[in-house]
Amino acid sequence: MVQKNDFTRINDYVWELPPTYDGRMRVPARIYGNEDVFEMAFRDQSVEQLMNVAMLPGIVKYAMAMPDMHQGYGFPIGGVAAFRYNEGIISPGGVGYDINCGVRMLASSLDYASIAPYLKDLTATIFRNCPSGVGGKGAVQLSAQDLNAVLEQGAEWALAKGYASRDDLERTESYGQIAGARADAVDARAKERGLPQMGSLGAGNHFLEIDVVDEIYAADIAAAFGLVRDDIVVQIHCGSRGLGHEVCGQYIRVLQDAPRRYGIDIPDRELVAAPVDSREGRDYLAAMAAAANYAFANRQILAHFVRRSFEQVLAGKVRDWNLHQVYDVTHNVAKIEEHSVGGQRMKLVVHRKGATRAFPPRHPDLPAVYRETGQPVLVPGSMGTASYVLVGTETALKDTFGSTCHGAGRMMSRNAALKQMRGEQVRSALNQQGIVVRTDSLKGLAEEAPYAYKDVSLVVDSVVGAGIARLVARVRPVAVIKG
């Protein structure tokens, strides 16, 4: 079994396992993190899962894990891997079931003091307007025709229907619409699951949070992002709901015999893959893009209903309740991008599973508004703890295909978390910190308790230390809605 001393220390924040460790590895495996974070990686199966990724055909440079890495299924969570477009593979398990799970941040020009008297009412109104939990219907009803438009147009559909502004789309990764999406690549069952769920948060680790900006690290960049100390922001964390789960499951199922058909040797059946340039590869990319577009539209609809909630509660009471979008990032996706590998420009399929794109200033894929600052990176902490806003860097582009961490990273199983405290106790502890909590599942609250996760500041220190993101601002929660 792989151990810490099988790795070489590249620097204080990067650790490398050479491919000679296991003859099946095609490239080295790299773990990002300071020494404490690196040691945490050996508590579960995540390092073995990372080695499996390094064995996939067409992989270039390294199989990488960000400091929030933990055990998943197939890829580890926090995994980043890029494959040659021409001779490489696309793996649905390298994206996961919650396609385009991601985070959106909205910012206000209201300080905490001005909304404090209305915070409980505001939280209750958002909880009512933004459905959460299992089994519920979404905030908007779609026709079958609407759904096909959502799948191919993403946030553009929301704009056409009056749920978004052009500014929102400009401040969304890939402008809220991944190219190449085809509604006909998404099968009827996935559509059936997605139809009633548009505009819903879901359950598990998904959340909606009201926060206060409590630290600014880079004043010029924070100003460009519209972040002001003491002002209120909102974070929305969710994905493509049942539609994305069904798309992933169906393509993993379809590809079960692909290793035999295409001679692709895989170490784990969850990592089944197809050549990017095969019928199955193209179909999966088109279906994944469609599911990702559904998720962009979903977070856009939720943002719309958060804005409506602010208006319902605060109109006539405070001077300006408007919320502008800071950014929306996806952290479960595979994207076709061009990167420099060994001094050569190369078309790649970059898989980010529990990792965030972090493009630097002047990257051509960034919108004009963030061309000079670099891309905002949203890193939510565990419930009740701080979250961070970072910005992408040249080092990230050079070293990690423009990728960085996506959150705190789970450390404790749900069972172990449940043994520490009951949901009522977790809620009470959060209330004592001045945090308003709304949830339909107290058990879910206990499973997501802060002690189940790594300290997000350790994760952020590691990506900043490694140079794959820069600090911009920190926010702390004042209200939490848990799915």
Partner 1 sequence: MGHWQEIEHTADLALHLWADDLPDLFTTAAQGMFAFIVTDSAAAPTRAVPVTLEAQDVETLLIDWLNELLYWADVAGLAFTTFDFTGLTPTRLSATAHGRPITAYAKYIKAATFHNLAVIKTSSGYETEIVFDI
Query: Which residues are part of the catalytic machinery?
Result: 406
Q: What are the tokens at 306?
A: 């958060």
The single residue among 14, 164, 201, 272 that binds partner 1, judged by CB under 8 A, is 272
Point out which span in 21-29, 91-99, 304-312, 467-475 binds partner 1 (CB under 8 A): 91-99
CB of 112 to partner 1, least distance (A): 32
Minimum Å distance from CB 247 to partner 1?
Answer: 11
Q: Is 443 in the site for partner 1 (CB under 8 A)?
A: yes
Residue 244 vs 275, nearer CB to partner 1: 244
Q: Provide the mask over 113-152, with x wherever binding to partner 1 is found by CB under 8 A and - wherever it is not.
A: --------------------xxx-----------------
Among 142, 232, 383, 411, which residue sits at the site for partner 1 (rule: CB under 8 A)? 411
**The one among 441, 442, 458, 465 contacting partner 1 by CB under 8 A:** 441
Q: Pick between residue 109 and residue 441 the one whose CB is nearest to partner 1.
A: 441
192 binds partner 1 (CB under 8 A): yes
CB of 392 to partner 1, least distance (A): 26
Q: What's the closest the beta carbon of residue 471 comes to partner 1, in angstroms?
A: 26
- Shortest spacing between CB 102 and partner 1, in angstroms: 16
Q: Which amino acid is at 203?
A: A
Regarding 414 and contact with partner 1 (CB under 8 A), the answer is yes
Q: Out of 8, 322, 340, 413, point to the residue binding partner 1 (CB under 8 A).
A: 413
Does 269 bind partner 1 (CB under 8 A)? Our answer is: yes
Three-state helix/strand/coil letters over the chain: CCCHHHCEEEECCEEEECHHHCCCCCCCEEEECCHHHHHHHHHCCHHHHHHHHHCCCCEEEEEEEEEEEEEEECEEEEEEEEEECCCCEECHHHCCCCCCCEEEEEEEEEEHHHHHHHHHHHHHHHHHHCCCCCCCCCCCCCCHHHHHHHHHHCHHHHHHCCCCCHHHHHCCHHHHCCCCCCHHHCCHHHHHHHHHHCCCCCCCCCEEEEEEEEEECCHHHHHHHCCCCCEEEEEEEECCHHHHHHHHHHHHHHHHHHHHHHCCCCCCHHHCCEECCCHHHHHHHHHHHHHHHHHHHHHHHHHHHHHHHHHHHHCCCCCCCCEEEEEEEECEEEEEEEEEECCEEEEEEEEEECCEECCCCCCCCCCHHHCCCCCEEEECCCCCCCEEEEECCHHHHHHCCCEECCCCCECCCHHHHHHHCCHHHHHHHHHHCCCEEEECCHHHHHHCCHHHECCHHHHHHHHHHHCCCEEEEEEEEEEEEEC
Among 28, 58, 74, 102, binds partner 1 (CB under 8 A): 74
**246-265 residues near partner 1, rule: CB under 8 A:** 246, 248-249, 252-253, 256-257
Question: Which residue in the set 189, 282, 308, 363 belongs to the binding site for partner 1 (CB under 8 A)?
Answer: 189
Give me the 416-435 binding string for partner 1, x by CB under 8 A, dash otherwise: x-------------------
Q: Is 203 among the residues that bind partner 1 (CB under 8 A)?
A: yes
73 binding partner 1? (CB under 8 A): yes
Residues that bind partner 1 (CB under 8 A): 43-44, 46, 70-74, 77, 93, 96-98, 133-135, 189, 192-193, 202-204, 242, 245-246, 248-249, 252-253, 256-257, 268-270, 272, 410-416, 441, 443-444
